[in-house]
Amino acid sequence: MTKGTSSMGKKSKKSKLVIPCRRCGSRSYHVKHKKCAACGYGATATLRRFAWQTKWKGKSKIKKR
């Protein structure tokens, strides 16, 4: 049994790289990157969201009859 260099090569294997996020609950938290792809947990304090993610409600102000 060696404790040196030959043992160090076996440390890089992670069976579960993507696990459920603590903040949003979606299965998109990357263990190696330490960041959630869905909400941005680990990188920012604010939630990750963009304008293109939701549909724009107010399409026009003129009502058609």
- Annotated domain spans of the chain: 16-46
Sheet of strand 18-19, all strands in order from the earlier edge strand to the far edge: 18-19, 29-30, 35-36
Cα distance between residue 6 and residue 34, in whole Å: 27
* pLDDT per position as a tens digit, 10-65: 777 778 899 999 999 999 999 999 999 999 999 999 999 988 888 777 666 666 56
The partner residues of 29 in beta bridges, in order of sequence, read 19, 36
CATH dotted code for 16-46:
2.20.25.30
Does this model's pTM top 0.75? My answer is: no
